[in-house]
Amino acid sequence: MKRHNPLAAMFMISLLCILSACGNELKQNHTIAATDNPTVKESNNEDTVEKKTLVVYFSATGTTKTLSEHAADILNSDIYEIVPAIPYTEEDLAYYTDGRADQEQQDNEARPAISEPIKNIEQYETIVLGYPIWHGQAPRIISTFLESYDFSNKTILPFCTSQSSGIGTSDTNLHSLADNAKWLEGRRFAADTTRETIKEWLDSMAIKPDKNAFDFDKHVVKLNSGYEMPMMGLGTYSLSDDECYNSIIALLKNGGRLIDTAYMYHNEASVGRAVRESNIAREEIFVTTKLYLTQYSDAANAIDEALERLGLDYIDLMLLHHPGEGDVEAYKAMEQAVKDGKIHSIGLSNWYVEELEAFLPQISITPALIQNEIHPYYQENDVIPYVQNLGITMQGWYPFGGRGHTSELLSDKTITTIAAAHNVTPAQVILRWNLQKGVTVIPGSSNPNHIQENLDLFTFELSQDEMAQINALDRNEKHDWY
């Protein structure tokens, strides 16, 4: 299991101006058919509806579609396309020909029909609404959409796609159609707007990714940086030289792709060698490392040194190992390294609510991940929801208790009884419990059989009652000082 070392001491003026869709997405978002009934997440303790974000858009030429897909990808949200019951033809869209679009825009009462409605819209708390500009306003089909649902207690964030003109009154004129919603200020985007710009805008509007970013089919979690990370992997604390190298090779041979290391583990070189010699494509392997407090005063050079020790072109995720003097400046150095392409995602280790409340207002890039001690005897039930509600992924070290507590935890009667019921090991039960709480795991081991076992977490599922039984084991018993 993972351990830190305390002794060595994160559209256009007109429709004709629309350009073609821009850019490729990093990952695929969740597209819902209009008649789909999107899955409602079950709480571990009680049945609740998880309030989520839905990106809704109408697109005639593809520009609004592309930017809406960027938004849904960034937010890990569902996406719904407003599809006209009668599709628009090129002739319908031709400006100043008295065609269909012209006639609709001249008629405030026009309400073009939508092919299919959204079911269970009540599960969505925030609606990001995209549309092109037609004669300075949103197409009338947007009015149809807004008058079709009850938006009480929902937030609507509108945006338009227009090459030159601003959003004008196209957003505020919609407010009366859903006056029971909380409307945020809209914004215009050109056709060539990048994904990064859309992310900056969503961040500035405090629209965070849906916290349920886990894909149990693919065994990955979508980070708020846009990258996917395996849910489970290998922690390499106390593994050195050939032992570290062989453990990583065992992980990779068994399908594992997440490796956690740190400057203070003194094994980054072994980690990098295993990755390079694995014959697995670099982009398939996710490598996390950390800067230690002693490196914060010269973090930019420390990042370059980490890359050199690893022998890799980029680091998937870099964390600050602990809060400490100079941590904000060190984090800003990591932010610059993200811009320079040296690091893909950045985060923090051993930060709790009080530390985060002080730290987050001082930085620009929201951490992609927070890594803390988490196990059934120390569950961090105050920290986990706080972090997840910020759209940040949670990761647990010491999943088996650590520091002489592993045997006690793995022999806990509640856990062994649940393990026997599923014909799995107590270790697998604990790791699966973490995953179902939305916590990724990095157990450490040099035993190839244990490494394989720790990856085999998807042939069974804990019931709500079993989750509640493990939740009841919490003693608030921290087994390390940080």
What CA–CA distance (Å, rounded) separates 428 from 462?
Answer: 11
What CA–CA distance (Å, rounded) separates 208 from 278?
Answer: 36
What CA–CA distance (Å, rounded) separates 269 from 387?
Answer: 32
Catalytic residue among 263, 265, 296, 398: 265
Scored b (16 or more CB within 10 A) or e, 202-217 reads bbebebbbbbebbeee
Quote the distance between the C-alpha of residue 111 and its chain's center.
37
Residue type at 334? Answer: M
8 Å CB contact between 371 and 319: yes
Query: Which two tokens mark 98?
Result: 């008295």
What CA–CA distance (Å, rounded) separates 65 from 17?
Answer: 16
Residue type at 440? Answer: T
What CA–CA distance (Å, rounded) separates 138 from 424?
Answer: 56
Query: Which two tokens mark 399?
Result: 């999943």
Question: Coil, helix or strand for 310?
Answer: helix
Question: Coil, helix or strand for 316?
Answer: strand
What CA–CA distance (Å, rounded) separates 267 from 24?
Answer: 36
Most distant CA pair in the chain, distance: 79
Phi, psi (rounded to 5 degrees) for 358 = -80, -35
- Identify whether 131 is a catalytic site residue: no
Instruction: Indicate left, alpha or beta for 397 from its phi (over 0: left) and psi (-120 to 50: alpha).
Output: beta
- Give the number of other Cβ atoms within 10 Å of residue 162's Cβ: 28
Q: Which residues participate in catalysis according to the annotation?
A: 265
